[in-house]
Structure formats: structure tokens, C-alpha cells
């Protein structure tokens, strides 16, 4: 139930749950941080993340012709994130509305080069190519909705035992 005075285009919810079970927390402390990306064109964003990162849709509210605004939980491997249409009345703005984002997502994969190329083929723009820096093989893209994603993998055991940067800047 929403607190008194708040309106939400997804209440009451229209549930579309996929055949994927994902616990809200995967750690014994019962705490996790899961990002939610605000976007314009939420349905297109969900499809982009499926094509670019092989995301699986775990949960979805809305995103229909009758209720076009979407809130969806996606998973990539064992990682999870949410995508929702921006809602300025609730202070949720997309990077397109504010002229840029305030966070970067980090997608850790075995093959950063291929993952970055797949994202570009799905419509992302390359910010910088995959290269080696600070003990990582890392590149960056901007998705069609304004969010920046660094795609990489650590080249050394992470975090380093000495807790200091390794490699070039």
C-alpha cells in the first residue's frame, strides 16, 4: 500500500512475473543494494537491456498499451537491477531530462570486448574502448537512455591485497 497522498501509475499493480526466481537478498545479513534506472521509453529500455546484455525480465508492472509506463526487474547472470519510466512528480528523472546521469553502472563479465561490442550492436554509443587500467580490462558505453555502463573484469585478484591502484591511469 502506498503512503497517503502519493499517487502511482502502477497501483494497483498489474503483475507479469517471468519463470525466474530471484531472492531479494543473497547474503546472510539480509541487506543488498539494487539500482533502479529511471528512463524515458521504459518498454524500449527493457528490450535494449535484453538485447545488449542478455538480461532476463524477472518481474514487470505495466508496459502495456493500456498502461505504458513500466517498472521491471531484470537480471544479468546473478546480478539484478530495476528499470522504470521516469516520474517527475515523484522526483525520478532520466538522464535525458537532467542532462546526464549521476551514477555509472559496472557490468563485470568474462569477455569485456565482446560484451561492449554486443551493447554497441544493440544501439549503445561507445564512450571509450576496452583497455587496461587500474588492474582492470574496462570500457564504457552510454545506453540509448543516457545511462553510462563500464564493462570490464579485474585482471588481478580483487580488491588488491595492498588496497592500492594497479596499472595505468
- The fold adopted by the segment(s) 9-22+32-87 is 3.30.720
CA distances from 22 to 17, 71, 97 (A): 11, 16, 31
Q: pTM of the prediction? A: 0.80
Domain regions of the chain by residue span = 9-22+32-87, 100-169
CA distances from 27 to 20, 32, 48, 81 (A): 19, 8, 29, 16
Cα atoms in the 13 Å half-sphere on the side-chain side of 137: 11
- pLDDT below 70 — which residues of the chain? 1-28, 167-169
pLDDT at residue 33 in the model: 86
pLDDT at residue 28 in the model: 63
How many other CB atoms are there within 10 angstroms of residue 44's CB atom?
Answer: 14
pLDDT at residue 161 in the model: 85
Same fold, 9-22+32-87 and 100-169: yes
pLDDT mean across residues, the chain: 85
- The fold adopted by the segment(s) 100-169 is 3.30.720
Amino acid at each position: 500500500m502506498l503512503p497517503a497522498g502519493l499517487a502511482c501509475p502502477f497501483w494497483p499493480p498489474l503483475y507479469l512475473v517471468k519463470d525466474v526466481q530471484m531472492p531479494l537478498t543473497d547474503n546472510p545479513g539480509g541487506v543488498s543494494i539494487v539500482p533502479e534506472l529511471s528512463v524515458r521509453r521504459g518498454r524500449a529500455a527493457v528490450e535494449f537491456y535484453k538485447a545488449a546484455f542478455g538480461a532476463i525480465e524477472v518481474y514487470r508492472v505495466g508496459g502495456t498499451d493500456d498502461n505504458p509506463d513500466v517498472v521491471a526487474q531484470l537480471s544479468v547472470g546473478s546480478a539484478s537491477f530495476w528499470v522504470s519510466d521516469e516520474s517527475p512528480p515523484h522526483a525520478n528523472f532520466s538522464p535525458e531530462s537532467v542532462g546526464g546521469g549521476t551514477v555509472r553502472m559496472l557490468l563485470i563479465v568474462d569477455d569485456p570486448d565482446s560484451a561492449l561490442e554486443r551493447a554497441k550492436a544493440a544501439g549503445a554509443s561507445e564512450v571509450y574502448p576496452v583497455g587496461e587500467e587500474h588492474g582492470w580490462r574496462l570500457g564504457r558505453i552510454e545506453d540509448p537512455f543516457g545511462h553510462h555502463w563500464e564493462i570490464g573484469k579485474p585482471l588481478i585478484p580483487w580488491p588488491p591485497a595492498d588496497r592500492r591502484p594497479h596499472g595505468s591511469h
